[in-house]
Structure 1
Amino acid sequence: MGEPGWASERHRTAIARSCLSVPARQAFIDGQLYPDRKILDFGCGRGDDVRALKRLDCQITGWDPHFQPHAQKCPADVVLMTYVLNVIEDPAERRETLRTAWALARTVLIVSARLTWERSKVHGDRAADGVLTSRGTFQHLFATHELRQLVEDVTGSRCVAAAPGIIYAFRDEAARLSYLAKRIAPQLTWAVSHEADGAIKALVEYVESRGRAPRLEEAPRPIAEIIAQLNPSAMRKLLRETARQELVDASARRSTLDTLLFLALELFNGRGPFASLPLSVQLDIRAFFSSYREACNRADRLLLKLRDDSYVRGAMSASRAGKLTPTALYVHKRSLDMMPTVLRLYEHCAAIAAGRPEQWTLVKLKHDGRAASWLHYPDFDSDPHPRICSDYQVDLRSLKTSHRSYEGSTNRPLLHRKHEFLAPDDPHAARYRRLTDAEVRAGLYAKPHLIGTEAGWEAELARCGWHLKGHRLVKRRPDQASG
């Protein structure tokens, strides 16, 4: 059993779903699936994603060699290939199947696969380069860098990891760059108005949020049509007199840093000519830099700083957000934009290389070397001392990843001093700080080596005669049981 060339019961791996699969949901969130695009679900299984996306008004068809063998495999703007490669026993056939799907993708091929950290969920015997289960199904579990390398080799494109085990291969650079730009600086939402006063208000809000006036082609059509009828000099005067200058200046600084971050990230992947950039990025460069060359030179210097351990440690020490330890900086996702730009670049490079997990709470950036981890604490805001659920790490030198789940663990690590992971002006920081101050006064942090896990923390609370009621520390009554 297990010789290459045999065929397993592939169709038996197709599970029934009541909602979108994780890869389809990620693609929808990322704006890759929408009504104007034609979508092909290549290897659609029982067709649950096809039905769910049709309910979202997507133009989607599905093909599957077992469940939909007579459906047409027509070229489409987007081709979904969801957990198909895992079930193919022969590596050569995997590549050929991937090549077939790529030939059908006009804009983007979205490839997803199960990863090596799911090995404990796959029961069976080793066979070829995977596992043959007792049900006669086969699973080759991919390392994250292995999956990305395979897709890049077959498609010849520079790929982006949207999430762990989800790879986007874009047919042209414009689509890839547009996706990256939205990840760094999400597009502003316009308040659409068909009246002149509403259009001017929306225009002012855009200037205050972006730091510059928009071009007509950036605005929704109803607003663009109204703006086009206004005198340009009168419009500029109106914006100068109406827009709050302190907001415009702050947004201009933020847009400048976002542009540098985008260009530095592009050099990490290979930078193209000015005309290949998304329109919004081109306009930001014209507004905030003297030239494309100047912007690129500054971005190049930023990327070089990312390779300098002493500079990175200095940036971590100066960060307005995050908890600095002897080995790493930990920052809550709400406060990422408060980090120095070089640290934002650090996190983005890791995310593009290996994908951010769908659920995470804190990012951990190591001082030395380059490794980023995304830690998930699902009850961070409701639990005064949240317990960890999972940890996903990528080493930027090797691009190798690791994943650890704490589900089912009986003595999980937990957090203290929650306010330190946030920016000082976070709306919850003051409440968390008050709890920390109370715990320090109560002597609960006197033995820090004891309180890092659930059992140790509960034991120390009981020993000192306290318990927690929400984010308040309450003295334990004599009649209350300890532990």
Structure 2
Amino acid sequence: MGHLSARSVVQGNTKAPLGLPHADGGLPGPAVGGAGVLPVIERRLTAIGRATLSVPARQALADRQLTEGRSVLDYGCGRGGDVRALKRLGCTVVGWDPYFCPGGRLEPADVVLLTYVLNVIEDPAERRMTISRAWELATSVLVVSARLTWEKSKVSGEAYGDGLLTSRRTFQHLFGARELRSYVEQATGARVVSAAPGVVYAFKAEEARLAFLAQRIVPDAEWLVSADTTSAIAALVHYVERRGRPPRLEETPRETAELLAHFKPRELKQLMRESADPEAVAEGAKRSTLNALLYLAVELFNGRGPFGSLPHSVQLDVRAFFSSYREACRRSDRLLLKLRDDGYLRGAMNASSVGKLTPTALYVHRRAVDRMPTVLRLYEHCASIAAGRPQEWTVTKLRHRGREVSWLDYPDFDRDPHPRIHSSYLVDLKSLEASHTSYAHSTNRPLLHRKHEFLARDDPDAPRYRRLTEAEVRAGLYDHPHLIGTEDGWEAELVRCGRRLRGHRLVRRTAD
């Protein structure tokens, strides 16, 4: 199945110790400063103390890769901040570092963390051996993180090898998002998934990779708590309405299954027929069908496997809602091909019940993303799998030309009537490259208007935001839209119209 190339649709010695210095404290490399003079590179100076988990460790924890019962090796742990934090969270974790923790146990572990290590190794051959050794030690998943090229403004130094030699005598090789993904794939021979900007997962088993994709794309239907037979029946009916099909025994929580064990199968079927709302079941079946198509399309973007490799719940959905796996794959292929069609995408954006459509893009709040048409959800998911979705974001921006997805962070969206942007992370699906823009220290930042338009119509906050917009329109604040896109312009219009904001209420401005 799936000979279609999805990307074309959108255009040594493995026992070498990590970072082991030579006797002179440096490693072979191009001369710097004078003929035949090798620099002394102090890798240990790149290790920073951490009071909290690093971004990659937090991402792995959020993605349920660091779970109870799994062993963890922090390979190149530096000062051991992640090791201590993970131990406090109950993880079975050990750390090893050639300078700070050379006595750590270098033994295979379910999860190996290689956190910002590749950046600081100036010898390309040793860099490759390091990731190969980390891959050998991982029995389930290797989590690799690296600093990306958009951090270049934070690193100054002179050219050295394929990176920079800083004034502190440390080395940095900054990866492009596509480069990091390809580098890990080539070193491990595994298909990898970008979990976040600069963080990729390489799974030992293909089933584990597919299960991770399913976890992100087709979340399991939640089960209601079952305390007695009545609540167990209610939980069963709720599942049927949400998923559009009866659950298999292995999908049912143990306590619910035990409470329903005295029913015969035909009695349970009768209960579901009599108790479930047919319209809700039909809506659940539609949702599950579209989620399965979305999953299969995203899977093709990263390489599709045989039916038996799919997560069990996805297999059951395919059996329930499609005539065959082949038919499901054909439909998902057609969905993926629609990403090439500007007119189709624009039509989907026009038809979307959520989001704010501008002449160039559709903007959707993260609370409403799952309500977008399936082809637009696929658009966003492909970008996230290719280069990672950031941990902090508020609004996604989907361009209807150029195939670019951005995640925009407005941390005060719910508190500020006109929130200011904090950062933007953009992924170009044609080049699979990414860029990042920070507005943290900017003056006169862009801000949002008409907040209700970014949300679903039934969002509980939408009426309050809509009332504010209507008041601002009546006051004449949107008469000159080209002036109000930034902090200074917006404040000037507030003054011109004699208004100010009190929370999400517009009031008259009074003289001081």
Q: TM-score, normalised by structure 2?
A: 0.90
The answer for the alignment partner of 1:126 in structure 2 is 159
What root-mean-square deviation, in Å, do the aligned CA atoms of Structure 1 and Structure 2 show? 1.6
| Contact 1:419–1:429 (8 Å) recurs in 2 | yes
The answer for the alignment partner of 2:335 in structure 1 is 302
Question: Does residue 455 of the first structure (1) align with residue 488 of the second (2)?
Answer: yes
CA distance in 2, matches of 1:127, 1:194: 65
Using CA pairs below 8 Å that are at least 6 residues apart, which structure has the higher relative contact order? 2
Instruction: Give runs of aligned pairs for residues 251-262 of structure 1, distance below 5 A.
Output: 251-262=284-295
Partner of 1:69, secondary structure, is: coil
After superposition, the Cα gap between the structure-2 partners of 1:143 and 1:295, relative to the gap in structure 1 and judged at 3 Å, is: same
Partner of 1:186, secondary structure, is: coil
Across the two proteins, how many residue pairs are aligned to each other?
Answer: 479
The answer for the alignment partner of 2:256 in structure 1 is 223
For structure 1, which segment, 258-267 or 45-54, has the greater mean C-alpha deviation from structure 2 after superposition?
A: 45-54
Match of 1:75 among 95, 98, 108: 108
CA distance in 1, matches of 2:319, 2:177: 38
Amino acid in the other structure paired with 2:482: H
CA distance in 2, matches of 1:166, 1:299: 27
Deviations 1:180-238 (A, max 9, x none): 00101222343454643343332222222222111111123333344444200001111
| Contact 1:216–1:228 (8 Å) recurs in 2 | no
Report the CA distance between 1:428 and its aligned residue. Answer: 1.2
Report the CA distance between 1:418 and its aligned residue. Answer: 1.1
Deviations 1:55-85 (A, max 9, x none): 2221111111111212221111111111111
The unaligned stretches of length 5 or more in structure 1 are none
Match of 1:239 among 272, 289, 300: 272
| Contact 2:364–2:395 (8 Å) recurs in 1 | yes
The answer for the alignment partner of 1:107 in structure 2 is 140
Report the CA distance between 1:324 and its aligned residue. Answer: 0.9
Deviations 1:375-411 (A, max 9, x none): 1111111111111111110110101111100011111
CA distance in 2, matches of 1:45, 1:234: 60
The answer for the alignment partner of 2:396 in structure 1 is 363
The answer for the alignment partner of 2:378 in structure 1 is 345
The answer for the alignment partner of 2:245 in structure 1 is 212
| Contact 2:77–2:95 (8 Å) recurs in 1 | yes
The answer for the alignment partner of 1:318 in structure 2 is 351
Instruction: Give runs of aligned pairs for residues 262-411 of structure 1, distance below 5 A.
Output: 262-411=295-444
| Contact 1:148–1:159 (8 Å) recurs in 2 | yes
The answer for the alignment partner of 1:3 in structure 2 is 30
CA distance in 2, matches of 1:3, 1:427: 61
Amino acid in the other structure paired with 1:264: A
Match of 2:84 among 32, 45, 51: 51
CA distance in 1, matches of 2:257, 2:52: 38
CA distance in 2, matches of 1:459, 1:351: 38
Report the CA distance between 1:285 and its aligned residue. Answer: 0.8
Partner of 2:207, secondary structure, is: helix
Amino acid in the other structure paired with 2:459: D
For structure 1, which segment, 157-166 or 110-119, has the greater mean C-alpha deviation from structure 2 after superposition?
A: 110-119
CA distance in 1, matches of 2:41, 2:163: 12
| Contact 1:6–1:89 (8 Å) recurs in 2 | no
Identity over aligned residues, as a percent?
Answer: 67
Amino acid in the other structure paired with 2:120: V
Instruction: Give runs of aligned pairs for residues 136-175 of structure 1, distance below 5 A.
Output: 136-175=169-208
Partner of 2:368, secondary structure, is: helix
| Contact 1:81–1:111 (8 Å) recurs in 2 | yes
For structure 1, which segment, 105-114 or 190-199, has the greater mean C-alpha deviation from structure 2 after superposition?
A: 190-199
CA distance in 1, matches of 2:506, 2:226: 51
| Contact 1:7–1:89 (8 Å) recurs in 2 | no
Partner of 1:343, secondary structure, is: helix
CA distance in 2, matches of 1:225, 1:73: 44
CA distance in 1, matches of 2:230, 2:39: 69
CA distance in 1, matches of 2:248, 2:40: 57
CA distance in 2, matches of 1:70, 1:272: 41
| Contact 2:191–2:202 (8 Å) recurs in 1 | yes
CA distance in 1, matches of 2:479, 2:320: 54
The answer for the alignment partner of 1:201 in structure 2 is 234
Instruction: Give runs of aligned pairs for residues 10-29 of structure 1, distance below 5 A.
Output: 10-29=43-62
Partner of 1:467, secondary structure, is: strand
Deviations 1:145-204 (A, max 9, x none): 111111011111111100000000111110000000010122234345464334333222
Match of 2:220 among 170, 187, 196: 187
| Contact 2:40–2:169 (8 Å) recurs in 1 | no
Match of 2:465 among 405, 408, 432: 432
Report the CA distance between 1:288 and its aligned residue. Answer: 1.3
CA distance in 2, matches of 1:203, 1:158: 37
The answer for the alignment partner of 1:65 in structure 2 is 98
CA distance in 2, matches of 1:465, 1:372: 38
Amino acid in the other structure paired with 1:279: H
Partner of 1:334, secondary structure, is: coil
| Contact 1:192–1:220 (8 Å) recurs in 2 | no
Report the CA distance between 1:39 and its aligned residue. Answer: 1.2
CA distance in 1, matches of 2:303, 2:196: 21
CA distance in 1, matches of 2:381, 2:189: 23
CA distance in 2, matches of 1:42, 1:146: 21
CA distance in 2, matches of 1:330, 1:413: 15
For structure 1, which segment, 339-348 or 64-73, has the greater mean C-alpha deviation from structure 2 after superposition?
A: 64-73
After superposition, the Cα gap between the structure-2 partners of 1:459 and 1:298, relative to the gap in structure 1 and judged at 3 Å, is: same
